[in-house]
Structures are given as structure tokens and as C-alpha cells.
């Protein structure tokens, strides 16, 4: 999990480096590999998967916003977004409270 025993992240700089490598454009595979290696030195594979999944969620959110034209979309889009957010709220209550 991406928290230490006090609830914080003692590896914040490594996590930030990973996030920056994920978000960098143009994408650099070498930069990503270096950030992944540095993060797994401080944490474990589970934390790496959690960090990557978080990045993937934000990528999905961006795509949803782009599809809707950045204005309130049709009811089906709002329903899908609402469903995704409810899953995230449920997941949050299971793992982070």
C-alpha cells in the first residue's frame, strides 16, 4: 500500500518522480524504467501497481472529459461517470479508512 505506518508517504520524492515519468510528453521509456526502479527500491510491487492504477484512472478521467466536450454531457455519460465515482468512493472506504 502507498502509505507508511504513520499514514504518510516516506517515499514521496520517488512517487512524484514516477508520476512525472508517467505524465511526461513525449513519453520516454527510459525515464519511465528509471522511475519504476527507483520507486520499487523504496516500496514493493504492490505499491507500484497502485501508483500505476492511479495514473491510469486520471488518464481515463481525462478521456471522459474530452469525450463529453468539457460541458455537461448526455445523461448516459453522466451516469457512467457517476458509476465510476461511486466505485472509487466504495474502494476508498474499503482500503483507506
How many CB atoms within 10 Å of residue 96?
10
> What would the pLDDT profile of 2-19 be if each residue is shown by its tens digit?
455 555 556 778 888 888
C-alpha cell at 49: 501497481
Chain centroid to CA 26: how far? 19
Q: Is the dihedral of CA 67, 71, 75, 78 positive or negative?
A: positive
> What would the pLDDT profile of 20-64 be if each residue is shown by its tens digit?
888 888 888 999 899 999 988 888 888 888 888 888 888 888 788
Q: Please report the pLDDT score of residue 1 as a whole number.
A: 45
Amino acid at each position: 500500500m502507498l502509505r507508511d505506518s504513520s499514514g504518510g508517504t516516506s517515499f514521496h520524492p520517488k512517487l512524484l518522480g514516477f508520476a512525472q515519468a508517467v505524465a511526461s510528453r513525449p513519453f520516454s521509456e527510459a525515464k519511465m524504467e528509471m522511475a519504476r526502479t527507483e520507486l520499487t527500491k523504496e516500496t514493493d510491487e504492490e505499491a507500484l501497481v497502485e501508483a500505476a492504477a492511479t495514473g491510469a484512472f486520471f488518464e481515463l478521467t481525462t478521456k471522459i472529459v474530452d469525450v463529453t466536450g468539457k460541458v455537461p454531457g448526455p445523461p448516459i455519460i453522466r451516469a457512467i461517470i457517476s458509476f465510476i465515482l461511486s466505485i472509487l468512493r466504495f474502494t476508498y472506504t474499503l482500503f483507506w479508512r
